[in-house]
Amino acid sequence: MRRLTAALFCLSALAGSPVAAQSVTPAPAATPPKLIVAISVDQLGGDLFAGYRQHFAGGMARMQSGVVFADGYQAQSATETCPGHSTLLTGSYPARSGIIANDWIDPASPRADKTIYCAEDERVPGSTSRNYTVSPVHLKVPTLGDRLKAANPASRTVAVSGKDRSAVMMAGPNADQIWWWGGQGFVSYAGRAEPAAVTRGNAAVATRLAAAQPPLTLPEQCRSRDRAIDIGGGKTVGTGRFAREAGDARAFRASPELDASVLAIAAALVQEMKLGSGAATDVLTVGLAATDYVGHTYGNQGTEMCLNLLSLDRDLAGFFAVLDRTGVDYMVVLSADHGGHDLPERVRMQGFADAQRVDPALNPVAIGEAVARDLGLTGRVLWGGNSGDLWLDPAIPAKDRARVLAAAVARLSAHPQVESVLTREQLSAMPMPTASPERWTIADRARATFHAERSGDLFIALKQRVTPIADPTGGYVATHGSVWDYDRWVPILFWRRGMPAFEQPLPIATVDILPTLAGVLALPIPAGEIDGVCRDLDAGAGTNCPAQ
């Protein structure tokens, strides 16, 4: 058995020769940090943070020793990876950024599935929604890195991530280095030269992947979660230990091994590029995707998530230790792109009898066929998924569109698993919500996602605790993406050496991160360009925020 305390990757070896420790004097608050490290832990809901806080002793414990906003919100309805990451460093909701979902339908697309991926350029010849060309072209707003570079071209932006969309949405179009997990190793845009740090990292990943991994030892803190949950088809989840066969890249991805490799390469790039030691403040974005893959594959209340989060805590400690040795004055912000909901089979056993899986009949093809029958139409009527946006087929004649829409609304609204159906007309007539995010209505949440150019003709919200995965035996057992708070609630944590700690329990939003960092960096943001507000990180009478 492999002990959890043994690091999965030797960070310092991967990052080059150990550097002698330098003394780091706490910087005066007036001096901006030289490096912003923005970490997203994909699917780290506020509930997971609350549930594991007492057990963290490494990098997560360090984050808790800074400024803690435990009640953060991805306030918009689109609690998916791409929209969630797009809010983190742009200060903008999808209504402004255009990142309304991971995938959306473009009714005018020549593609058979009319599906556009958020982080692709579909104009590249030969590309499809499954075999796409990664690109930031859909992001309509600048990131922190873009703004810093505009203010001072010496500023550099570097992104390393377990997913292409998280790298692209946090870094923006001007990344100096951008690397994401490509299935067997870390890849970038075509034609990008591979830095030595990435070459070494990929070699280490290849070696590791080629070897089988024995199961992790279950620490005492995880024992109460060690219970098999039957998901049908002779399968169970809840007792996993991350044992992996040699070469199984999919299992590697849904394990702490993925984040360890991302952190190792990020640390090595900090050293190789001397991030934080140049003329301007640099940005490093780190997308940690293992928590999301673990949550989808095993749910979030079993041994798998417990082992994953304790591994994350330890691997973050190693990452921060490498940053410490550079002597750079860096500030870290850590948050998440969304929360998550455990698999309904376990939720039902543990207090919520109403947790269920979505009715397979609640999909746009089936609903569309029923609507077409009702109205005597032929051909496909509706496009989209079983929640979120739906689009009317562009071939529906103009004279029929209003009655197709009304029939679809009636059919969807009558379904017992549907909470709310909103039309494009209703959403486009609403102002952007301005209340604190915990007080937003379902319509407010949908409005913050609504983008006139990209959003659908209809928006559907499923009822609470309806998991939009009909069959758990095919791969994923649990998910996120709903309008409900278990998917919206995320921690927002700031740490910088010497920063006086405080915990603010009142709610803030992830769109507040960008203006808060901009305040710390004295980076002006013209009024009206973003949705977030600056939050004062100074525990005392001073403030990092500009006068309002």
Binding region for Zn ion (CB under 5 A) out of 37-45, 53-61, 483-491, 534-542: 37-45
Residues 362-401 that bind Zn ion (CB under 5 A): none
Nearer to Zn ion, 81 or 143 (CB): 81
Min CB(340)–Zn ion separation in Å: 8
| Residue with smaller CB distance to Zn ion, 93 or 383 | 93
Compute the least distance from the CB of residue 215 to Zn ion, in Å: 26
Taking the complex as a whole, how short is the minimal distance between the CB of residue 309 and Zn ion, in angstroms? 15
> What's the closest the beta carbon of residue 73 comes to Zn ion, in angstroms?
15
Distance CA 207, CA 191 (A): 25
Indicate if 81 belongs to the active site: yes
Task: With contacts defined by CB under 5 A, name the span among 78-86, 359-367, 427-435, 532-540 that binds Zn ion.
Answer: 78-86
Torsion angle (degrees, nearest 10) of CA 495, 60, 210, 15: 30
Structural tokens at position 233: 């088809």
User: Closer to Zn ion at the Cβ: 155 or 479?
Assistant: 479
In the bound state, the residue with its beta carbon closest to Zn ion is 81
Cα–Cα distance measured from residue 116 to residue 466, given in angstroms and rounded to the nearest whole number: 26
Q: What is the signed CA dihedral for 185, 130, 412, 465, rounded to 10 degrees?
A: -10
Least distance in angstroms from the C-beta of 458 to Zn ion? 24
Dihedral, CA of residue 506, residue 508, residue 512 and residue 513, to nearest 10:
80
For residues 114 and 106, is the Cβ–Cβ distance under 8 A?
Answer: yes
Cβ nearer to Zn ion, comparing 105 with 170: 170
To the nearest whole angstrom, how small is the minimum distance from the Cβ of residue 289 to Zn ion? 7
What are φ and ψ of residue 446, in 5° steps? -70, -35
Alpha carbon distance 66, 40 (integer Å): 17
Binding segment toward Zn ion, per CB under 5 A, in 133-141, 294-302, 333-341, 456-464: 333-341
3-state secondary structure of 209: helix
15 versus 101: smaller Cβ distance to Zn ion: 101
Smallest gap from residue 288 Cβ to Zn ion (A)? 10
**Which residue in 81, 281, 297, 510 is the catalytic one?**
81
Among residues 62 and 480, whose Cβ is nearest to Zn ion?
480
The answer to whether 502 and 539 have CB atoms below 8 angstroms apart is yes
Residue 261 touching Zn ion (CB under 5 A)? no
Q: How far is the CB of 233 from Zn ion (least distance, A)?
A: 26
Q: In a 10 Å sphere around its CB, with 0-12 CB exposed, 13-18 middle and 19+ buried, how is residue 212 labelled?
A: exposed
Q: Which stretch binds Zn ion (CB under 5 A): 73-81, 206-214, 249-257, 322-330?
A: 73-81
Span of 51-59, 112-120, 286-294, 527-535 interacting with Zn ion by CB under 5 A: 286-294
Nearer to Zn ion among residue 417 and residue 449 (C-beta): 449
Query: Hunting for tokens 């059919």 — which residue is that?
Result: 411
Exactly one of 120, 315, 337, 512 binds Zn ion (CB under 5 A); which one?
337
State the minimum distance, in angstroms, from the CB of residue 292 to Zn ion.
Answer: 5
By the rule CB under 5 A, 81 interacts with Zn ion = yes
Q: Is 42 among the residues that bind Zn ion (CB under 5 A)?
A: yes
77 versus 544: smaller Cβ distance to Zn ion: 77
Phi, psi of 496 (to 5 degrees): -150, 140
381: left (phi over 0), alpha (psi -120 to 50) or beta: alpha
> How far, in Å, CA of 144 to CA of 146, rounded?
5
- Tokens of residue 406, six digits: 């009304």
Q: Encode burial over 433-455: b for 16+ CB neighbours within 10 A, e otherwise.
A: beeebeebeebbbbbbbbbeebb
The 525-544 site mask, x for binding Zn ion (CB under 5 A), equals --------------------
Q: How far apart are CA 124 and CA 131, in angstroms?
A: 11
How crowded is the C-beta side of 29, counted as CA atoms within 13 Å? 13
Token pair belonging to 405: 């829409």
Q: Is 348 exposed, middle or buried (0-12, 13-18, 19+ CB in 10 A)?
A: middle
> What's at 408, amino acid-wise?
A
Of residues 391 and 484, the one with the C-beta less far from Zn ion: 484
CB neighbours of residue 121 within 10 Å: 15
User: If binding is defined by CB under 5 A, does position 292 make contact with Zn ion?
Assistant: yes
Q: Which stretch binds Zn ion (CB under 5 A): 75-83, 122-130, 171-179, 371-379?
A: 75-83
One-letter amino acid of 261? S
Positions touching Zn ion (CB under 5 A) are 42, 81, 292, 337
Which residues are annotated as catalytic? 81
